[in-house]
Structure 1
Amino acid sequence: MTVVEPLAERRIALVDLLDRLLAGGVVISGDLTLRIADVDLVRVDLKALISSVNEDVPSPWDPRGEVRP
């Protein structure tokens, strides 16, 4: 019988973690509801996409389609 040991504790720098997350992109979403006496007064639905930008890829909004040096 093989004994499986738990994963060793690894320390990862915050910069490395952010680099990994931004390389693939992160989606953040949430709901906020302001309610008084069981009556919903305000409801806000928040969604954000956070990703890194590659300057080698031309922007779809650039009419010339040129890559900046």
Structure 2
Amino acid sequence: MTDWPARGVSADEIILSDRLPAERVSLVDLLDRLLAGGVVLSGDIILSIADIDLVCISLRTVLASADTLEDA
């Protein structure tokens, strides 16, 4: 049976070891990853006067590639 956390290892070293290696990601790579998995964006818009809500709009959209949507 092992002790947790390991003796002689600080909490900072454990946290740093769990992080992914630093790498630069271009915007095109980021968009490719997001569209491959799909992204859901949501938001609310409330128009009010004198703290009286007049219009409430809920917005939700799904961003994904066509291949991702076909597989789902």
With normalisation by structure 1, the TM-score equals: 0.68
- Match status 1:44 vs 2:57: yes
Residue from 15, 25, 28 that aligns with 1:12: 25
More helix by proportion, 1 or 2? 2
Give me the whole-angstrom Cα distance separating, in 1, the residues matched to 2:37 and 2:22.
24
Q: Aligned residue pairs: how many?
A: 55
- Match status 1:53 vs 2:52: no
1:10, CA displacement in angstroms? 1.8
Q: Specify every segment of 5 or more residues in structure 1 that has no aligned partner in the other structure, as ranges.
A: 58-69
SS at match of 1:46: strand
Q: Specify every segment of 5 or more residues in structure 2 that has no aligned partner in the other structure, as ranges.
A: 1-7
- Match status 1:26 vs 2:39: yes
Runs of 4+, deviation exceeding 4 Å = none
